Amino acid sequence: MKENNAIAAALAAANVMMRVAARSVVAVEDMVTTPQLRILMLISGSGPQSIGSVAAELNVHPSNATRPCEKLVQAGLIVRSPDRSDRRFVQLELTDRGAALVDHVLSERRQAMAQVFEQLSPDEQAKVTDAFELFAIAAGSEPTHDGRFAFAVQP
């Protein structure tokens, strides 16, 4: 089956974005694994999380989300605290060190994307921006503006 130009262009752009994301992960791979980074990004973008919400983001059973979270606690990147609405539950929150790691990754992504955009004229930048936002909306999600990538797979 022959691809149309729009699909080929989207796949080419996705390839660039995946390389940008991969490079930002390589910058911290000596500190955290990819699933751990996803947890940090989730907490950074959405606020304190329960083990259940982390498990849902990782698409694993809650018992399988406990281990990477525990390693993040031991590394001083997140802390456990009682849930403000129900003290029977625990919430996971970023420490200053965890927030700094996320900020570093997002900064790396922004810098890499800025280097690509610098190759475009202001008019081309505006067109690409509009196209990316329309694409994200057409996919059923609001575009994020903070450099995070959502990995949850939706049918």
Residue 136 has pLDDT above 90, yes or no: no
Residue 143 has pLDDT above 70, yes or no: no
Helix or strand run (H / E) with residue 137: helix 122-138
The 10s digit of each residue's pLDDT in 32-74 is 998 899 999 999 999 999 999 999 988 999 889 999 999 999 9
The pLDDT of residue 114: 94
- 79, with CB counted inside 10 A (0-12, 13-18, 19+), is middle
Phi, psi of 129 (to 5 degrees): -60, -50
Q: Which amino acid is at 50?
A: S
The pLDDT of residue 147: 52
| Average pLDDT over all residues of the chain | 86
- 49 DSSP β-pair partners: 92
pTM of the model: 0.78
Residue 153 has pLDDT above 50, yes or no: no
